[in-house]
Amino acid sequence: MLIYKTYKFRMYPDLDQVQKLNSFLGTKRFIYNYYLNEKEKNKNLTFNQMKQDLVFLKDKHHWLKEVDDYILLNALDDLENAYKRFYNKLSGKPKHKSYNSIQSYRTSCKKDKKGITNIKVDLENNVIKLPKLDEIKIKGYRKLKEFNLKIINATVLKEAGKYYVLVLVLENLKTEPLKMPKSIVGVDLGVKDIITTSNGLKIQKIKELKKLENKLKGLNKWLSRSKLGRKNHYKIILKIEKINQKIKNIRKTYNHLITTNLIKENDIIVIENLKINPMIIDAKDKIAKYLYNTSLNEIIHNLRYKATWYNKRIYQVSTYYPSSQLCSNCKNKNSKVKDLSVREWECPRCHFVHDRDINASLNILDEGLKLYLKDLQKFN
């Protein structure tokens, strides 16, 4: 099976290379911002029109010719994608890239007629060759001896004065035949307890994260009351950005830990499909909604790709499956449980007393088992 994987290396460019890298980063920013302005003037400007216009722009600004062409084209591609996300209501309006934001440029891997590629990672000498640059020293992946992977592209990043390169490769993962699963677990994803499993495990959101999220809510209230153009207003925005970054980092580390454990300990993991979760739609608090949404999506994303790494399986049950309302003991449906505040309930038919989330995870497990049996029939 072929999978995409990213390798991140720290780069140690010399002075000459730093100058070049900075000028490439600046060029990418220039192109992005230039066509952002053009798009503002003419909404219907397409990728191909921008690409054609780029030829004229290069005649006007000769220094654009000193840059690898892929950097320019990928800048247009990034802009196009930013607008697509905006039109599909997945993110805010594309903004100008400033010198202060994280800077990056992406270049694509190509072979020339002699079969020499423009991007090359040499782990024996710890250097990377990027288009229009000499070999740059890199560090990372000490255990890896060779880099005989199909490179798709490389993204150069400048973060807090340090340079990194992210190399995207297409790796051929040796797929072992699916072994007989020894363990299967149902997972209920929630707000208070992030994860509840059918084994009775509950994982709560860590306190530090809760604190930061409350702080963020407070600051946002403050921001909505402060006046635009005042010095204070921008101070609050800066604070919000800092806390957002902190939340993101803590959440990422934490979610990695949770998902790695879940994957390592179980052969089949059953989760819900959360696209139209009523909890998200009902939430009145927009920020809480956003944080909840991103965190759960991250968990699902992590589980999915880690499952391919460890040769495990993920099943997702239908959004419409009433996992919380069914009694996991007798399968009687109790609509009164729809109310999210009901944390514990007794089944009116079999009188089993349920913890809301554990009951849901047991139902999710049942549905997962059905999906697994269906798969078995398909293969036999």
Binding span for Zn ion by CB under 5 A among 28-36, 220-228, 348-356, 360-368: 348-356
User: Is 346 annotated as catalytic?
Assistant: no
Query: According to CB under 5 A, which one of 329, 340, 371, 372 is a site residue for Zn ion?
Result: 329
Does 19 engage in binding with Zn ion (CB under 5 A)? no
Among candidate residues 68, 213, 267, 357, the one labeled active-site is 357
Query: According to CB under 5 A, which one of 327, 358, 360, 362 is a site residue for Zn ion?
Result: 327
Q: Tell which positions 138-157 bind Zn ion, by CB under 5 A.
A: none
Query: According to CB under 5 A, which one of 347, 358, 360, 362 is a site residue for Zn ion?
Result: 347
Binding span for Zn ion by CB under 5 A among 211-219, 231-239, 321-329, 336-344: 321-329
Query: According to CB under 5 A, which one of 49, 204, 232, 332 is a site residue for Zn ion?
Result: 332
Centre a 10 Å sphere on the Cβ of residue 100 and count the other Cβ atoms it contains.
Answer: 6
Q: How far is the CB of 337 from Zn ion (least distance, A)?
A: 11
Binding span for Zn ion by CB under 5 A among 63-71, 79-87, 225-233, 331-339: 331-339
Contacts with Zn ion by CB under 5 A: the residue count is 7
Burial of 130 (0-12, 13-18, 19+ CB in 10 A): buried
Q: How far is the CB of 330 from Zn ion (least distance, A)?
A: 3
Among candidate residues 68, 78, 267, 272, the one labeled active-site is 272
For Zn ion, the closer CB: 178 or 350: 350
Among candidate residues 78, 188, 366, 367, the one labeled active-site is 188
The rounded distance, in Å, linking the Cα atoms of 184 and 312 is 10
Burial of 242 (0-12, 13-18, 19+ CB in 10 A): exposed
User: Is 357 annotated as catalytic?
Assistant: yes
CB 28, CB 75: distance < 8 Å: yes
Binding mask 226-255 for Zn ion (x = CB under 5 A): ------------------------------
CB 106, CB 71: distance < 8 Å: yes
Does 353 engage in binding with Zn ion (CB under 5 A)? no
Complete DSSP assignment for 45-107: --HHHHHHHHHHHHHH-GGGGGS-HHHHHHHHHHHHHHHHHHHTTSS----PPPTTSPEEEEE
Which among 331, 319, 323 has a CA at the least distance from the CA of 363?
A: 323
User: Is 176 annotated as catalytic?
Assistant: no
Does 79 engage in binding with Zn ion (CB under 5 A)? no
Which among 261, 288, 245, 262 has a CA at the least distance from the CA of 102?
A: 245
Complete DSSP assignment for 128-176: EE-TTS--EEEE--TT------EEEEEEEEEETTEEEEEEEEEEE--PP
For Zn ion, the closer CB: 301 or 331: 331
DSSP code for 200: S
Binding site for Zn ion (CB under 5 A): 327, 329-330, 332, 347, 349-350
Residues with active-site annotation: 188, 272, 357
